[in-house]
Amino acid sequence: MTDSTTPTTDHALKAKHRAMWALGDYPAVADTVIPTLGARLVAATGVQTGDRVLDIAAGSGNASIPAALAGGDVTAGDLTPELFEVGRRHAAAAGARLDWTQTDAEALPFDTGAFDTVLSCVGIMFAPHHQAAADELVRVTRPGGRIGLLAWTPTGFIGEMFATMKPYAPPPPPGAQPPPLWGDETHVHGLLGDRVRDIDTRTETVRVDAFGTAAEFRDFFKQNYGPTVAVYASLTDTPDRAAALDRDLDDLARRYDLGRGTMDWEYLLLTARRS
């Protein structure tokens, strides 16, 4: 039993989101593009031995595994359990022990104050209803407990990628908010409100050098990144629009190219304590 007060879940919407993230190969994206970001978040949040840690929207364990290696008693939760198989292999290879459980960020199955540390690395930002997800994040953090969030910014590469894909994508469901808003400091402060203290926010970048050309980036994301796979799937009957999206994503990657395909992708890192 839990004492969650989250509103009734839209099961059809959540099923759609689960299916989207099961498309392609998100673990390959995490391993290729952001292998260091989970450890960066864990270090900033200060996970210690014995801490009860929840990683919301954990995916294949990009932050969960470093948190476990830091000594945390970690629960890795995600709406898409299809991602756990790779996560378990990675954890075993690293010698990390943690629990994997299917969870909805907007309706967490845990008691109020159940965790010493709650974190999310480019994960909770994709829950469609931001306030509901933020309320649950705060609810399950004990008073004085630590919160750590890492999210792509609206003005950085991934934020621009979502803006680039938006004209080609089906309309979002009513009430859904754009994921990169979690990378806007004012927006996140509004979500958390006075329920947190000792807030520290900083904008940083991660160096991405896995793609030699714009086309390599575009093709990799078309094949492996769930949101991009889903947009292209919606364009199957309009090949001219799919070709236009190809060109727009190529142009985006070229604008960010620092040379030989190397790019810096911007994110917001926030840490705080539960009031």
Provide the CATH topology of domain 11-209+263-274: Rossmann fold (3.40.50)
pLDDT beneath 70: ranges in the chain: 1-9
| pLDDT reported for residue 10 | 84
> Cβ contacts of residue 156 below 8 Å, gap of 6+?
180, 183, 205, 265, 266, 267
pTM for the structure as a whole: 0.95
- Nearest one of 105, 114, 179, 101 to 140, comparing CA atoms: 114
Best CA proximity match to 53, nearest among 30, 76, 24: 76
Is the separation of the CB atoms in 109 and 103 below 8 Å? yes
Residue boundaries of the structural domains of the chain: 11-209+263-274
pLDDT at position 9: 61
pLDDT digits (tens, 9 = 90+) for 174-210: 999 999 999 999 999 999 999 999 999 999 999 999 9
